[in-house]
Chain A
Amino acid sequence: MFAFTYHRPDTLTQAVALLQTREEAKPLAGGQTLIATLKQRLAAPSDLVDLAALPDLRAISREDGRLVIGAMARHAEVEASPLVRACLPALAALAGLIGDPAVRNRGTLGGSIANNDPSADYPAACLALDATIITDRREIAAADFFTGLFETALEPDEIVIRVAFPLGGEGAYEKFRNPASRYAMAGVFIWRGEVAPGEALTGEILVRVAVTGAGQGGVFRWRDAETALAGAFCPAALEGLVPPADEMIEDIHGSGAYRAHLAGAMARRAVARLMVAGA
């Protein structure tokens, strides 16, 4: 590890000020990616701004038809939260599938989405559930937040404080884990709901399909699958449908075609799970 200056601010204002004034400061959430990177000397920030002492960033609450989760909530807390299990069981289940127990007890929701690793699980839930990412200065729709491989709409000094998930409808997440490291080789989050009352096409069935782990640009909405499922919501509607193989990640763990196949298979499993849950 290279030397750095450690800060543990008590207020959001102090944290943002540190990020703005220090030469090359990085915010530290759960550290499950960043600390490993520092230990390998693959990054050398001048300052680390630990967000652990900031107040109210771990709370999970229900407000105005939304489930609001603090950015510093640990994966294990989301998994075990009675409120998340009751309102959005698929999200609690997803949190329980992330990494291993050590990662789940330290890793955070905010850290996961701010890093936007192409194999991270949470970005798929944010996209499929149409979440809103709330930062220290603005609100960003999930559709605008994830902008590419490890890239987000966040400014370098911007801090995610909460994520709001709209309630209503049902979701399911299916993931094919890398056998050694348990990250998603392909993970598919499917949400099915109705257009809210008062809007155009009220009562119409809506489907959103988000794929993580497979795409070269990170998480993406799989529109072809959404169209197919809007026509007939059953696994057979997706038979033979896969995302474009040349846009999938290709590495020693699997070819693009293999990952495209996995995405199709995980999508069909998620649909089957939703049909059982809905029956």
Chain B
Amino acid sequence: MELTGAQRIEAPREAVWQALNDPDILRQCIPGCQELVQASATAFTARVTLKIGPVKASFSGAVTLSDLVPPHRYRITGEGQGGVAGFAKGGADVWLESEEDGATLLNYSAQAMVGGKIAQLGARLIDSTSRKLAGEFFSAFAEIVAPPPIPAPALPSEAAS
């Protein structure tokens, strides 16, 4: 399935780009992510637990960043094995545009694939679930990068220096 959308973030493009490359921020935004460890500049290992209704499955897998054009765009892909539950893989092209007022428009075009038992049982729900998870990711991201009261946490500014 395909999922495209855009989210306006009240922060300059540089700051959004830094956050998109910060494992600590990514970990907080990926729904159900318990661990995201950086293996290299563009590779991470992740442990994600997803709970959808009665189903609860833990996936461990790899997250990779590619096609990097800082601070404009990259591609983020992930692939995970959930044991008997099956597997999930997905990717998103993400590109940033500066708005006239200094905010940033984050555009994404994502694809998700689920296989194994979880796909057979949940076929009618994969689309809705993916949309919901993508929504959770981007709203959490917007909140962390441009929180209403206090500015971004310490980590991203450290990475920027």
Contact = CB atoms under 8 A, between A and B. Distances in A.
Q: Do A and B bind each other?
A: yes
Interface of A: 26, 33-34, 37, 40-44, 115-119, 148-150, 216-217, 249-253
Given A41-B85, A251-B125, A252-B123, A34 B54 contact: yes
B56 A249 contact: no
Nearest to B86: A42
B124 A249 contact: yes
Contacts of A44: 56
18 contacts: A26-B54, A37-B54, A40-B84, A40-B121, A41-B84, A41-B85, A42-B85, A42-B117, A43-B55, A43-B56, A115-B53, A149-B52, A149-B129, A149-B132, A217-B132, A250-B128, A251-B123, A251-B125
Nearest to A150: B53
B125 A118 contact: yes
Contact of A251 (B52, B121, B127): B127
B151 to A, nearest CB: 30
Q: Would you list the 9 A-B pairs with minimal beta carbon distance, nearest first? A: A150-B53, A37-B54, A216-B128, A251-B124, A41-B84, A42-B55, A43-B56, A250-B127, A34-B54
A150 B124 CA distance: 13
Contacts of A118: 125, 128
Specify the main secondary structure of chain A where it touches its partner.
Answer: loop
B123 A42 contact: no
B57 interface: yes
A180 to B, nearest CB: 11
A43 B54 contact: yes
Contacts, number: 64
B131 interface: yes
Interface in B77-128: 84-85, 117-118, 121, 123-128
Contacts of B121: 37, 40, 42
A34 B53 CA distance: 9
A216 B123 CA distance: 13
B132 A148 contact: yes
Contacts of A216: 127-128, 131-132
Given A37-B121, A42-B121, A216-B127, 8 more contacts: A40-B117, A40-B121, A44-B56, A119-B124, A216-B131, A250-B127, A252-B123, A253-B124
A41 B55 CA distance: 9
Nearest to B127: A250
A244 B88 CA distance: 29
A148 B31 CA distance: 15
Nearest to A248: B128
Contacts of B129: 149
B80 to A, nearest CB: 15
Interface in B17-75: 52-57
A265 to B, nearest CB: 19
A36 B149 CA distance: 46
B63 to A, nearest CB: 23
B120 to A, nearest CB: 9
Nearest to A35: B54
A191 B85 CA distance: 41
A150 B52 CA distance: 7
A224 to B, nearest CB: 21
Contacts of B128: 118, 149, 216-217, 249-250
A178 to B, nearest CB: 8
A251 B120 CA distance: 12
